[in-house]
Amino acid sequence: MDGPVHELLDKQAIREVVLRYCRGIDRLDLDLVRSAYHPDGIDHHTGFDGTVDEFVAWVGPALRRFDGTMHLVGNHLAEVVGDRAVAETYGTAVHWGPPADDPRRNFTSGFRYVDHLERRAGTWGIVERFAVREWTHDDSAVRREREAPGPSCSRDGDDVVQTLLARLRAGELDSR
């Protein structure tokens, strides 16, 4: 398949690489984070420069300092030339954790992921990522209490999205 449809499929696959990374970060699923990169991938983050394996070893403990994170991505443009692409994705990342009045544990940042990606053996992955922090906002005054009973987030593999995905993959989701 060539032409515009193939280009749209490539761009969707590239966007899903970015989304898979974000879910992995927010759910502390470091295997999912790693899966967004090719094995020889490189990452440049605020406070970090190195290989994907070094990044995963660094980011796991860094994320465990927080009770949670939520990465929201918006504008996404990818330019594809053959099996190579450059993508720019705008986003915000909310971070929270104790103590509630500590701005190093409670902040929102605006960022751009600028990614060099390649398709290898039919799979798109990050070859080199530049996580460009544009701004940071102190959220230490934001109220974090739950207002009512209901589903809550989990970063231990038991989040509702992980539970439903496991049921889907096992053929255990029925129609309602």
Tell me, what's the pLDDT at 5?
87
Kindly state the percentage of the chain with pLDDT values over 90.
74
Could you tell me if 58 and 48 are in contact, meaning their C-beta atoms sit under 8 angstroms apart?
Answer: yes
Instruction: Give me 94's structure tokens.
Output: 């909310």
Instruction: Give me 160's structure tokens.
Output: 């509702």
Instruction: Give me 116's structure tokens.
Output: 């060099």
Tell me, what's the pLDDT at 152?
74
141: Cβ contacts below 8 Å, ≥ 6 apart = 101
DSSP 8-class letter at 24: H
Tell me, what's the pLDDT at 167?
82
3-state secondary structure at position 107: strand
Q: How far apart are CA 98 and CA 19, in angstroms?
A: 27
Tell me, what's the pLDDT at 176?
65
Tell me, what's the pLDDT at 64?
96
Tell me, what's the pLDDT at 60?
97
Domain boundaries, the chain: 4-169
Q: How many helices (H) and strands (E) does the chain have?
A: 4, 6
Q: How far apart are CA 52 and CA 62, in angstroms?
A: 15
Q: How far apart are CA 108 and CA 96, in angstroms?
A: 9
By DSSP bridging, strand 107-120 and strand 84-96 are antiparallel
Could you tell me if 34 and 52 are in contact, meaning their C-beta atoms sit under 8 angstroms apart?
Answer: yes
Domain 4-169, CATH number (from 3.40.50.2300, 3.40.50.1000, 3.10.450.50, 3.30.2080.10):
3.10.450.50
Q: How far apart are CA 63 and CA 71, in angstroms?
A: 12
Cis amide leading into 99 (omega within 30): yes
pLDDT digits (tens, 9 = 90+) for 26-53: 999 999 999 999 999 999 999 999 999 9
| Residue (of 120, 31, 112, 113) closest to 84 by Cα position | 120
Residues of the chain with pLDDT under 50: none
Could you tell me if 106 and 75 are in contact, meaning their C-beta atoms sit under 8 angstroms apart?
Answer: no
